[in-house]
Amino acid sequence: MNYRLILNIAINLIRARLKQSIIAAVGVTFGIAMFITLLGFMNGLNNLLDGLMLNRTPHVRLYNEVKPSIDQPVLISKDYKGNTNFIQSIKPKDRGREIYNSKAIINILKQDKRVIDVAPKVTAPVFFNTGSIEITGVVNGIDVPAEEHLFKVSDYIIEGNVFDLNNENNTIIIGKGLAEKMLVKIGDVIKITTIKGGLVSLKVVGIMQIGIAEIDNTMSYTSLRTAQMLLGESASYITDIQVKLTDVLMAPAVAKEYKNKFKIDVIDAQTANSQFETGSEVRSIISYAVGITLLIVAGFGIYNILNMMIYEKMDSIAILKATGFSGNDVKWIFISLALIIGIVGGLFGLLFGFSLSQIIDMIPFETSSLPTIKTYPIDYKITYYVIGLTFAICTTAIAGLFPALKASKIDPVEIIRGK
């Protein structure tokens, strides 16, 4: 087959019907541009929301879960072995919240090649005292450099500096909601009651805002040492070990491994945030569905225009067949025609989609809850562009195929004699 000739004829047919061809291509352009923009925007938002959660949660967290002992006395008893035992009113076992041998565990974790860094943490429920009112809250004792490295806590500090926690003893950074409730500002001293009854005064060195009201109303950060002091515990007291991995996808497997290795409760990010995963997945599916619908509509446009073109060009098709073009040749002429429209329209679509994404990327998007975000987030993943173009080519090829088959079956005798 003479591809160059076929392509040449297809191009000439397009040139003869330039206006219609452009309209068909614009349909594809519009579909692809919207597809790219929609997906970029949707996934930009998805990543932002996921990041909000995932960046602040460790990939793997080691802790002591409050739960009953797995080995109940009756199961150990030889007399009842092999029986089905029903035990009622089990209470969780008090193992304390401390992770035993935490120093050794941290050292082992730090040597694991899959681990980026490890951050120990002490969490303690406390009451913040303001006047005669007690507000329930949580104190997080953090290893400031490690926490900053893993979770970029400084992003959420709206006033003050996170490293002041280390510079001065008995200091605290409190959530914005908490600060507003207690009417305190940096430099003020607040009183905290621990659940064991101890009363401690801490100086506020910073105010933080994560953007989730519930957290901002209860959360506070202190240094590891201050938290241990608050609880009256030794320097080895750690309640959580947070681990960030090089690849978050490994988290479930790694969590399982640590669980067996250290005989401790371990949770991975995927399990901890499963509802977020579902949310982003559904949003992705919706954006793909809308994008693909747009492209299919564009495909119908191409189908219509090619069909019309074939009716108009009946004579030309008849003469091509009479002078030695086979049905197959004619079919390829119209398929190439559709593909040219699809590829040109698709490439312009990618360009417009990219431009549109850039425009959205420049629109200011400032919310008090997301201090680091200044404009709408856009995901420029190359995959969307590849999918867009592939889909444009596929839709136009299929849209062109049916008219092309029809053209290939045109009987030249009928046309020539029909005059």
Partner 1 sequence: MAKKVLETININKYFYDPVKFRVLSDINMSINEGEFVSVVGKSGCGKSTLLYILSTMDTDYEGELLINDVNLTKKTDKDLAVVRNEHIGFVFQFHYLLSEYNVLRNVMLPGIKLAKYPLKEIEHRAMEHLRTLDMADQALKSPNQLSGGQKQRVAIARALINDPIIIMGDEPTGNLDKKNSDMVFDIFNNLVKERNQALLIVTHDPDFAARTHRTIEMADGRIIS
Identify which of 222, 10, 16, 254 has the alpha carbon closest to the alpha carbon of residue 116.
254
- By beta-carbon proximity to partner 1, the closer residue of 11 and 75 is 11
Give the range of 40-48, 102-110, 139-147, 310-318 binding partner 1 by CB under 8 A. 310-318
Pick the binder of partner 1 from 171, 209, 218, 316 (CB under 8 A): 316
Strand partners of residue 190: 202
Nearest Cα neighbor of 363 from 347, 382, 376, 377 is: 376
Beta bridge partners of 121: 142, 240
- Closest separation in Å from C-beta 338 to partner 1: 17
Cβ 320 to partner 1, closest distance in Å? 8
d(CA 188, CA 328): 85
Nearest to 276 by CA among 44, 60, 46: 46
Contact 119, 242 (CB under 8 A): yes
Amino acid at 417: R
Residue closer to partner 1 by CB (options 12, 355) is 12
Spatial contact of 294 and 387, defined as CB atoms under 8 Å apart: no
According to DSSP, residue 364 is labeled: B
- Site map for partner 1, 8-27, x if CB under 8 A? -x--xx-xx-----------
- What torsion, rounded to 10 degrees, do the Cα atoms 193, 194, 197, 199 define? -40
How many residues belong to the site for partner 1 (CB under 8 A)?
27
How far does Cα 76 stand from its chain's mean position? 47
Q: Contact letters (x/-) for partner 1, 384-413, by CB under 8 A?
A: ---------------------------xxx
Inter-residue contact 140 to 193 (CB < 8 Å): no
Work out how close the CB of 22 gets to partner 1 at its nearest, in angstroms, rounded to a whole number: 17
For 281, the token pair is 């997945």
Please report how close the Cβ of residue 297 comes to partner 1 at its closest, in angstroms: 29
| Residue 1 Cβ vs partner 1, minimum distance, rounded to whole Å | 10
Comparing CB distances to partner 1, the nearer of 381 and 406 is 406
Structure tokens given for 97: 């919240």
Q: Which is nearer to partner 1, 80 or 311 (CB)?
A: 311
Is residue 419 near partner 1 by the rule CB under 8 A?
Answer: yes
Judged by CB, which is closer to partner 1: 33, or 335? Answer: 335
> Could you tell me the smallest distance in angstroms from the CB atom of residue 294 to partner 1?
32
Interface with partner 1 (CB under 8 A), residue from 113, 196, 263, 417? 417
Residues 195-254 contacting partner 1, CB under 8 A: none
Please identify, using beta-carbon distances, which residue of 155 and 329 lies nearer to partner 1.
Answer: 329
Binding marks (x or -) toward partner 1, 320..359, rule CB under 8 A? xxxxxxxxxx------------------------------
Residue 408 corresponds to which amino acid?
S
b/e sequence 116-155, b meaning 16+ C-beta within 10 Å: ebbbbbbbbebbbbeeeeeeebebbbbbbebbbebbebeb
Residues at the contact surface with partner 1, assessed by CB under 8 A: 2, 5, 9, 12-13, 15-16, 315-316, 318-329, 411-413, 416-417, 419
